[in-house]
Structure 1
């Protein structure tokens, strides 16, 4: 047996020890499936095990018609013709295939090539659902595995038989695939982690990881800087079994006396880099994040890893080293000495706190399964299913926010649905003022009454939205009646009321329509002896006979040179003197002033007519209800 084979067997033993010690488990992530038609099956709700490839529609849903092919129901060969399964109902086609004879991913790829929007694979036996995984790396699979762009799922055999039975009866079987709750959203911040590796000499797997990091860096940093997410990098390590601690294989692949190991990058112990070089760089990248996070600059990890990959590659310039790493840290103004302190001594026969935590976290807890392969993305403690693609991962992260609370980056061109552009998404709209309740999210549109220019609208969002609160009258007059005549405006909207419409004085109606009241005809004004009444829009005018003056508040006429006014003044002064107290003072201050104001206004109206057109939205004094003095 070769040294390499011996060491790989040792690692296998390690894996077996890890698995047996924690009862390793792989959590199957599921999406909901509901039958919409035929009617007799509508109450049926089922689940599908999400595939570990393709693009699950996290946070969204899909309605489509089930098609089961008459030929090639296993889906192991390409289907003939252009879109051979196009739905007659013009709904998306959801292709149903049977399990067996070829890779799950190949079935889905052939279904996508035939124009299907999603693929369901029927299990062959009645058993707990498993995750449809990607095939092992091979030249055959590389041609299509990363190209799959549709969602897929494994469904129970009994559920598949129900669908097939309905199809054989010629019924249109419509289902809804729902991923809206596949990603939990416990709070306003999404926490996610990426289990990765600093090794760039492991073929297409390492290339895929690094391509993702480079492409996703911008999104990740925007989310992190805005406080929307908390990202943590993770690195997988193994430990060397005790019987092999002194072997050259463990010494070259492990640090801290066999406690933390990584496979040889070239799988050749005699040349190139060693596994412990990978472990040390993994540790350095962990400490870069830890130290940067302590200074509230955690997002610099993305810059460091990207720059290190470009400047310190194993494959090209053979610069994968401590010296190159420190050059990168220096260029990013990272505190090198603090990072060294975080890393500790790789040669010491002690536990490393940073790497020990990583090994402990490989074991799944709660809703998350064990970390068994690289790369693995975990979002809100749930393992992400689907390919490691910038847009697909962003959609998964955005699904971790509660609906309508996601940041604007979740509505980038890659994700926005633009459903509001067609029929306004079926939501309420005020076309006159370009106000809409339709809001696009990456999950689809929602109908939600808007907050516009500080004015909140309330309603169901579908058929009605009404402005409420201060300032509502400035927008569409609060939905109330308003009319202008000859430069004079009256409104049924009052900013002193948060809601509702009320016709102003001088008008009657429900607030949405208001009609002028003829105070003269109804005997509501000018009842004084010798008065004449003339109705005006929103008010009235009263005149007295001869040279008498009309007093509005008291509906009375007085002589211009009458001694009544002087006698009244004398009476009031005597009253104040006699009272000699607060009551007299108050009476003087308010009652006398009110009377004098009305008298002065009456005199001025005779000789200097006021311009009643200056005051819009305010009902003039003539329209006030009569009060007895």
Structure 2
């Protein structure tokens, strides 16, 4: 009965989308480089396991096993398909006999850098998926670290024929640079998942991914580099079965939104409707958090809910979910309003949108595999693992706009480890830089000093402070306690030998000033060359004056002293006369000028006072009033 219910739900979903659904297979570009007669381009459907080299390329030599060409058994020997040349090996295998993933795993063990599986019939390419339920899958699925692709039967036959003729290496290029579009400086991605943690391998895979990728996801989201949306698949129950126990236990809103029974047993444990309600709660957590500009909190909620509200521990419940919401400081009332009433016989706005989004549009196919990651509207193919997914996200950025997390050690290709990647290097300074796209030869910046050049043949320190980094790649030497350098802080670039040396700045030789007759040319001078300079000596009781290249007597004669004293006395006399002239003649002249100016404004003592006129008449008796 449980199986019948599951089939009904699956049938309902299939019939709902068959009219307009289409499945789009992600394709990588495969180019045959050699032999010339086979040079061409082909498509390949990327396997949904392993690690596709999104954003990069792989050039390798094709190998095809003589027997056991389907790769269902481990190959004999220690890495029998490891390339004998410097190129990696791309192993070609036939389809059929076992899981795709097992073929690729055996190819990886045999030393292949990538695996191509040739289809056994002419048909449209499909996505190679990993086993849903397999006891032996647990041993190798997560260990596959190489890329793989399914190719058309005709292309596979042409490769086999070229190898059979033994006309030389068959060299092909696998190009993933355009497999992930990068329309602008922001990557948009969505993750199709569910809250059920009792569905075996796939549930464990998706929950481990959420926990491990949470840190990267939140860094990218907080920095505005990405726009993330979670999604959840739901089915619906046909109207004829809405009143059945199966639909009532697996669906909400009168059969509109359903999920399979977690334990595949309707008689015990949790029901499918419990999963649908929690899926809805997680969608509303993201919606409400996004409205508060905290969209990254979804990762915290899902991680905490999985730990605190596990199905295995019988804690998977509404109350447990609400407790997690409160602990994260989210408005629980808003989330309840977003969820609506699961018992109402109406459409739920949130879940109805999810069902519509499940149908493929544009370059994205129908979502038929859980979990599914969609990046820039293209379905991601490969292992759902932190580093592999981060590489794919980073490939979604235009080159040069990558966020710092895309340049971390986790994503380095380590191509600089071998022969410095063919880039320039001097001592501990190198122009080789590993990125997830491969190595880049680019002159570095060291301790704030920028190097300039082509990155392959030359790099030169430039700007202030360059002399502190390897002496600016200029000549420098110490000898007898003295150090000279061809690097000058006053020069932004270039090297020039210091005074006393000649050369190109990268090598400098001492100049023998005595031999070149550029010093000590005065009479009675003797010259001795030193490292970086020279010494001049004068004969007798003379000293050398370098500025004038002349010798003067160390102790002067009596006549010289007499003349010197006489000159000094004359200078002193002139100074005294000047002072007397200033004190008496010039000073009296200035005083008279000052008095003349002042007399215009006030009476002085040596002038008669002005007459005073009055209108008062004298009184009799000689008295005036």
TM-score band by shorter chain is 0.7 to 0.9
For residues 255 and 278 of structure 1, what CA distance do their matches in structure 2 show? 10
User: Normalization by structure 2: what TM-score?
Assistant: 0.74
Unaligned runs of 5+ in 1: 571-629
Q: CA separation of 1:420/1:204 partners in 2, compared to 1, >3 Å: closer, same or farther?
A: closer
- State the SS of the aligned residue for 1:33: strand
Gaps of 5+ in 2: 572-625
- 498 and 32 in structure 1: CA distance in 2 versus 1, 3 angstrom threshold: farther
1:437, CA displacement in angstroms?
A: 1.9
Out of 292, 305, 320, the position equivalent to 2:289 is: 292
Greater mean alpha carbon deviation, residues 274-283 or residues 140-149:
140-149
- Paired residue for 1:86, among 81, 90, 98? 81
User: How well do the aligned residues superpose, as a CA RMSD in angstroms?
Assistant: 4.3
Are 2:208 and 1:211 equivalent residues in the alignment? yes
Bigger CA radius of gyration: 2
Distance 1:167 1:490, change over 3 A: same
* Deviation at residue 480 of structure 1 after TM alignment: 3.1
Equivalent residues in 2 for 1:20-31 (5 A)? 20=19, 23-31=20-28
Contact (CA 8 Å) 1:99, 1:124: kept in 2 or not?
A: yes
Moved more, 440-449 or 467-476: 440-449
Structure 2 counterpart SS, 1:89: coil
Whether 2:13 is the aligned partner of 1:18: answer no
Write the distance in 2 (CA, Å) between the matches of 1:119 and 1:129: 16
Q: Name the structure 1 match of 2:301.
A: 304
On the 8 A contact 1:198/1:278 being kept in 2, the answer is yes
* CA drift at 1:196: 0.4
For 1:160, the equivalent position in structure 2 comes to: 156
| 1:4–1:269 Cα contact (<8 Å) kept | no
Distance 1:279 1:558 in 2: 107
The equivalent of 2:442 in structure 1 is 448
Q: What residue number does 2:310 align with?
A: 313
Contact conserved, 1:532 with 1:543, CA < 8 A, in 2?
Answer: yes
Number of the residue aligned with 1:470 = 464
Query: Conserved in 1, the CA contact under 8 Å of 2:2 and 2:265?
Result: no
| 1:323 matches 2:319 | yes
C-alpha displacement of 1:141:
5.8
Q: Report if the CA contact (8 A) 1:530-1:544 is conserved.
A: yes
Counterparts of 1:490 and 1:144, CA distance in 2: 63
Where does residue 263 of structure 1 map in the other structure? 260
Pick closer, same or farther for the CA change 1:546–1:186 going to 2, 3 Å.
farther
Where 2:192 maps in the other structure, the secondary structure is strand
Q: Is the 8 A contact 1:367 1:382 kept in 2?
A: yes
Q: How does 1:497-512 map to 2 (within 5 A)?
A: 497-503=491-497, 509-512=503-506
1:239-278 pair list within 5 angstroms: 239-241=236-238, 250-267=247-264, 272-278=269-275
Per-residue deviation at 1:430?
1.7
Kindly indicate whether residue 391 of structure 2 is the aligned counterpart of residue 392 of structure 1: no
Secondary structure (helix, strand or coil) at the match of 2:181 reads coil
Given that 1:34 and 1:42 are in contact with CA atoms closer than 8 Å, whether structure 2 keeps it comes out as no
Map residues 99-118 of structure 1 onto 2, 5 A cutoff. Answer: 99-118=95-114
Q: CA deviation at 1:449?
A: 1.6
Q: 1:532 to 1:97 in 2, by over 3 A?
A: closer
Aligned twin of 1:184? 181
Give the Cα separation in 2 of the matches to 1:206 and 1:512: 64
Write the deviation string for residues 495-523 of structure 1: whole angstroms up to 9, x where unpaired. 34433334556665444345667789889
Contact preservation (8 Å) 1:185, 1:380: yes
Deviation at 1:453, TM superposition (A): 0.6
Q: 1:193 aligns with which of 180, 186, 190?
A: 190
CA–CA separation in structure 2 for the residues paired with 1:148 and 1:520: 75
C-alpha deviations, 1:346-385, integer Å up to 9, x for none?
Answer: 3445544433433333233443222123110122332111
1:291–1:338 Cα contact (<8 Å) kept: yes
Instruction: Indicate conservation of the 8 Å contact 1:503/1:514, yes or no.
Output: yes
Change (3 A) 1:521 1:374: same
Superposition pairs of residues 198-597 of structure 1, within 5 angstroms: 198-221=195-218, 223-224=220-221, 229-241=226-238, 250-267=247-264, 272-314=269-311, 316-348=312-344, 350-401=346-397, 405=402, 407-408=404-405, 411-412=408-409, 415-431=411-427, 434-482=428-476, 491-503=485-497, 509-514=503-508
**How far, CA to CA, are the matches of 1:99 and 1:3 in structure 2?**
34
Distance 2:244 2:88 in 1: 59
For the 8 Å contact 1:528–1:556, the answer to whether it is kept is yes
Q: CA deviation at 1:465?
A: 1.3
Partner of residue 592, structure 2: none
Q: Structure 1 residues 520 and 313, CA, compared in 2 at 3 Å: closer, same or farther?
A: closer
Distance 2:205 2:530 in 1: 81
CA distance in 2, matches of 1:444, 1:267: 46
Quote the Cα distance in structure 2 between the aligned partners of 1:117 and 1:189. Answer: 31
* Structure-2 change in CA distance of 1:558 and 1:117 (3 Å): closer
Range moving further from structure 2, 98-107 or 529-538:
529-538
Aligned-pair distance for 1:444?
4.1
Report SS of the residue matched to 1:86: coil
> How far did residue 46 of structure 1 move?
3.4
Q: Closer, same or farther in 2 for the Cα pair 1:487/1:142, shift >3 Å?
A: closer
Contact 2:525 2:537 in 1 (8 A): yes
Give secondary structure in 2 for the equivalent of 1:456: strand
Measured after TM superposition, the shift of residue 43 of structure 1 is 4.6
Deviation for aligned residue 1:323: 1.1
Q: Contact 1:11/1:240 (CA < 8 Å) preserved in 2?
A: no
Task: Summarize the Cα distance change of 1:269–1:297 in structure 2 as closer, same or farther, 3 Å threshold.
Answer: same
DSSP 3-state at the match of 1:198? coil
Q: How many positions carry a matched residue from both structures?
A: 557
Say if 1:31 and 1:178, in contact at 8 Å, map to a contact too. Answer: yes
